[in-house]
Structure 1
Amino acid sequence: MSAPWLADIAARTLNAGLHREPVVRQAGATEINLASNDYLGLSSHPDVIAGAHAALDRWGAGSTASRLVAGTTQAHIDFENDLAEFLGFEAALAFSSGYLANVGAITALVGRGDLIVSDTGAHASLIDGCRLSRARVEVVPRGDADAVERVLAARSEERALVVTDSIYSIDGRIAPLREYYDTATRHGAIMLADEAHALGVRGPGGRGVAAEQGLSGAPGLVITTVGSKSLGAQGGIVLGTHLLREHLIDHARTFIFDTGLNPAAVGAAHAALRILRGDPQMPDRLRAGVRRLAAACGGGIPDAAVVSLIVGDPVAAVDAAALCREQGVFVGCFRPPSVPEGTSRLRLTVRADLDDADLDFVASVVTGALRRVEAA
């Protein structure tokens, strides 16, 4: 391919400290992984792996087709029903990823001539869903329910959708879901809240922020979540009413035209859900670990499972992450456009299966790496 402009962009990206390379994990690696979103440490749990194996044996390696053709197994239906019951909603619909669940839900709910109110903490999948919907999009400051109120009160559109993450993925802060929901309801709007970083982390037994704030199954509320974080597997799920599920099956393009979530991921996620049901104290142990690590690293006490340590310069952040990995600790490194300019950071995600000795070791490595890059 002859495209000189690609080389120009690559050089500018590299010079800005924003070039990215996928990090290749090796089997049997001994480093402590705080870069994943495996909050409950269930991705390698024997029962979760057994759930994947059982689904493979029964259904094969792939779903083989769109879920509307031949890609829906009984395993999909059973998982959807159990997750909906656990989270207090009438129905659920599984997509092959959380990204596609968000894009599919938003574009099926609103379109040209409608309004979306989104805040600045929205995940890229929510942002892309807003853009692809062709609705008018108004972006308000993160957590500002008064700004949501002003936009909804001034709108001319009949249909409106308020979109937010319930836990902002970059720093683990909680959105004011109750205030957003009450505001949306007063103005005849519906609300979609992404609970990807809340399932297994917040709420009674890990049921999420919506449950914590008394919103489970609330009318006019749509929840999205994933099987790829606390459930240790893969896939995205939209929860709401039976009517919403039917609407998404008919109108969500990322459901209609995509091959269904593979059976092994369904089996693994369902097994993880059973573990969470059986051990409702897991989220409490996770958050205790978060508090311990955050206090040791001086990063403030977050609301969820993310400890965010701002470095500032993207090159320094990359260097600090590399120093951590050299000493056996794998941490996330977030740079623009994932975060605003000047706020590149290390992002540490705690797991419920890490003990105090693990967390103290991580804190020692991370603080030492940060001191080294600051002195350089």
Structure 2
Amino acid sequence: MDTPYPMLNELALNLAELDAQHLRRRRTVVESAQGRELLVDGRRLLNFCGNDYLGLAAAPELRVAAIAAVQDYGVGSGASHLVCGHQLPHERLEQRFADYLGLPAALGFSTGYMANLGVITALVGRGDAVFADKLNHASLNDACLLSRADFLRFAHNDLAALERHLAASTARRKLIAVDAVYSMDGDLAPLAELLALAERYDAWLYVDDAHGFGVLGEGRGSLAHHGLRSPRLIYLATLGKAVGTAGALVAGEAVLIAWLLNKARTAIYTTALPAAIAAASEAALGLIEAGEARRLRLQARIAQLRGGLAGTAYTLLESTTAIQPILLTSSEQAVALSQALRERGLWVAAIRPPTVPSARLRVTLSAAHEEADVAALLAALHELAGKPGA
């Protein structure tokens, strides 16, 4: 409906265009805790679209730790970390995380997005260069743009292209930024080869391990999975995926962390996360360290899904991780198939451009899933494979 305000009319037209392209985003209200099942509009749905890979988001141990911290520290931290908001649970979490990884120091951020913005803009700027995989998360891309450094993107996992960029660069300081596990494809970055290039061309290697920490490397993440250590490495783990809480931690050499504490604006100029989140996150680290049984259950569900879709009409990307994308021909097909699964009690997210270059269902698995849950998803996918629009 037209209004006296042309700028609002233009937005309404733009939204109508998104509707026509099956690209408009809308939120769904969840009425329950995260888990293998979610309550939506009074109906239970099997959850195949969350990132709670180890099933810790509603774990009793995390609830107990958070409640105890609320009793001791209240609800809000009251200030930024550098004023008076850095409470004992924050300090304990940073130390525990660094110790768990075997790295000298760590620094907490309120979100993974803020961590990427803070780290990259603190380390590179005008006269520098940052080199990024084309399938990197949006937060890495935004950080690279905001850094004002030369921003050079290379084709996904194309080491030869990256080396050409590095060899041609005359930048004062260089930084390579990659996801360790790519959030929409589920595949792994070749971190050992990337680190070799960083060594050869005197660059930092910044690893966003949002989807690897807690799952790979016996829980210690992608650096442990690949057996890597180097002062050039900067390591990020977000806490909203396998850890089951919120926020992010960056680990590396002590001098690096001290620099970030002084220069990472997204860590300096924001109120600290509640102490309860830090306490719950520390409790989760204990469960992750002792959580091989959870990781084995997750691997079993991954194998079950991949085996069940082998030889079908569905195109399943090559992934050994909890992220199992099914490529589709159009955004319309992705939305229709997601809705058809929802009608059968299964929630699988339809991911469309511009988030990804090609539409897909992004199936995510968890240690909380039972064999019968994945069997139900497979049965529905098999049923829908021959239907129009599937």
Shared fold, TM over 0.5: yes
**Conserved 8 A contact 1:321-1:331:** yes
Q: Report 1:56-205 matches (<5 A).
A: 56-203=70-217, 205=218
1:349 is aligned to 2:364: yes
Name which of structure 1's ranges 320-329 and 277-286 shifts more when overlaid on structure 2: 277-286
8 Å CA contact 1:320–1:370 kept in 2: the answer is no
| Secondary structure at 1:352 match in 2 | coil
What does the per-residue CA deviation read over 1:219-248, in whole Å, with 9 as the maximum and x for residues that have no partner?
110011111000101001111111111111
Provide the aligned C-alpha RMSD in A.
1.5
**Hey, what does 1:253 align to over in structure 2?**
265
- The question of 1:291 aligning with 2:308 is answered no
Which residue does 1:233 correspond to in 2? 245
Residues 1:24 and 2:62 aligned together: no
Which residue, 341, 361, 375 being the options, matches 2:376?
361
Q: Residue 370 and residue 233 in structure 1: after superposition, are their counterparts in 2 closer, same or farther (change >3 A)?
A: farther
Dislocated runs of 4+, deviation >4 Å: none
Q: What amino acid is the match of 1:16? A: Q
Measure how far apart 1:365 and its partner are. 2.1
- Kindly provide the amino acid, as one letter, of the partner of residue 22 in structure 1: R
Residue 114 of structure 1 and its aligned partner are, at CA, apart by: 0.2
1:225-283 CA-to-partner distances (Å, cap 9, x unmatched) read 11100010100111111111111111011011111122222122111111111223422
* Distance (whole Å) between structure 1 residues aligned to residue 153 and residue 243 of structure 2: 31
Which stretches in structure 2 are left out of the alignment for 5+ residues? 33-37, 311-315
Give the Cα separation in 2 of the matches to 1:372 and 1:49. Answer: 44
2:56 is the alignment partner of 1:42: yes
Q: Secondary structure at the match of 1:51?
A: helix
Query: What is the aligned partner in structure 1 of residue 35 from structure 2?
Result: none
Q: Distance in 1 between matches of 2:331 and 2:254?
A: 46
Partner Cα separation in structure 1 for residue 347 and residue 23 of structure 2: 19
Q: Does 1:330 align with 2:347?
A: yes
1:86 and 1:281 map into 2 onto residues whose CA distance is 18
What is the match of residue 311 of structure 1? Answer: 328
Distance 2:385 2:79 in 1: 48
* d(CA) in 2 for partners of 1:268, 1:188: 38
Matched residue SS, 1:372: coil
Q: TM-score, normalised by structure 2?
A: 0.92
In structure 2, give the amino acid aligned to 1:210: L
Moved more, 111-120 or 307-316: 307-316
List per-residue Cα deviations over 1:286-329 (Å, max 9, x = no partner): 12211211221342551211110012211221121112122211
Whole-angstrom CA distance in 2 between matches of 1:279 and 1:14: 43
Could you say if the C-alpha distance between residues 338 and 300 of structure 1 is closer, same or farther in structure 2, counting changes exceeding 3 Å? closer
Letter in 1 for 2:69: A
What SS does the aligned partner of 2:113 have?
Answer: helix
Q: Is 1:201–1:287's contact at 8 Å kept on the other side of the alignment?
A: no
CA distance in 1, matches of 2:388, 2:242: 32
SS of equivalent residue, structure 2 residue 337: helix
Change in Cα spacing, 1:53 to 1:373, as seen in structure 2 (3 Å) is: farther
**Cα displacement (A) at 1:10:** 0.9
TM-score w.r.t. the length of structure 1 is: 0.95
Distance in 1, matches of 2:263 and 2:251, equals 15
| Counterparts in 2 of 1:371 and 1:233: CA distance versus 1, 3 Å | farther
* Structure-2 change in CA distance of 1:158 and 1:7 (3 Å): same
Count of residue correspondences: 371
Which residue does 1:321 correspond to in 2? 338
AA aligned to 1:10 is: L
Report the 3-state secondary structure (helix = DSSP H, G, I; strand = E; otherwise coil) of the residue aligned with 2:389: helix
Tell whether the 8 Å contact from 1:313 to 1:344 is kept in structure 2 after alignment. yes
CA distance in 2, matches of 1:301, 1:149: 25
